[in-house]
Amino acid sequence: MNSAAPAYQKLPGRSIAFSGIGRLWLGEDHVLEAESLLVHERYRRFFLKDMAAIVVRRTKARMWWNVAHGVLGFGGAALAGGLWWWGTFVKEQEPRVVLWVFAGMIAPFALFFLILFLINSLLGPTCRCHVQTTAAGAHALAAPTRLRAARRVLARLTPLIEAAQKMNAPTLPTEVGTSAE
């Protein structure tokens, strides 16, 4: 038996969570969800002909990450700036150096969180995607987690799902007219 391995195309978006890195892959007649964490991998297959709905809902995760990164970034920057500024008014050399050293130690962490704040803001709104199938019911997808990527996935999958469901649609028998004589 020499069968060719199915060719998969990567769909836009991914997720990074405690459960691992999640991605969606498009096969010939299905979508494959893959989550991997170090040496553990989990796969789930959703056939296009069985998909009843794909639901995308916005979440507030972006806002909460921005609040956390903003507090740590802007707060750390204010603290580092305050220590540096306070060090300029101290007359003695040793306390001034200590204040400047603390400011120099806090500043890289503040910069790190400010960069995370900027990246999260530029990536756009967050979302959660669910797929409803006739066989397995509703399932929350690991990816995509950003609205822009979810819209691209929907644009890519919608015509494929419609085509797969048209091919598998049952044909209804035509009614034969009866005449009353």
Helix H, strand E, coil C: the string for the chain is CCCCCCCCEEEEEEEEECCEEEEEEECCCEEEEEEEECCEEEEEEEEHHHEEEEEEEECCHHHHHHHHHHHHHHHHHHHHHHHHHHHHHCCCHHHHHHHHHHHHHHHHHHHHHHHHHHHHHHHCCEEEEEEEECCCEEEECCCCCEHHHHHHHHHHHHHHHHHHHHHCCCCCCCCCCCCCC
Query: Using 50, 70 and 90 to split pLDDT, how confident is the model at 172?
Result: low
In a shared domain, residues 117 and 144: no
Is residue 74 domain-shared with residue 118, that is, in the same domain?
yes
The larger pLDDT score, comparing residue 177 to residue 53, is at 53
Q: Are 96 and 73 in contact (CB under 8 A)?
A: no
Residues 48 and 70 in one domain: no
- Whether residues 88 and 38 share a domain: the answer is no
Does 2 reside within a domain? no
1 inside domain: no
Q: Closest Cα to residue 25, out of 50, 7, 51? A: 7
Query: Is 102 inside any structural domain?
Result: yes
Is residue 97 one of the residues assigned to a domain? yes
Please give the residue range of the domain that contains residue 104: 61-123
Same domain for 136 and 113: no
- For 64-103, how does the pLDDT look when each residue is reduced to its tens digit (9 = 90+)? 999 999 999 999 999 999 999 988 888 888 888 999 999 9
Per the domain annotation, does 178 fall within a domain? Answer: no
Domains of the chain: total? 2
Structural domain includes residue 78 = yes
Contact by Cβ (8 Å): 48, 161: yes
- 14-33 pLDDT, tens digit per residue, is 888 888 899 999 998 899 99
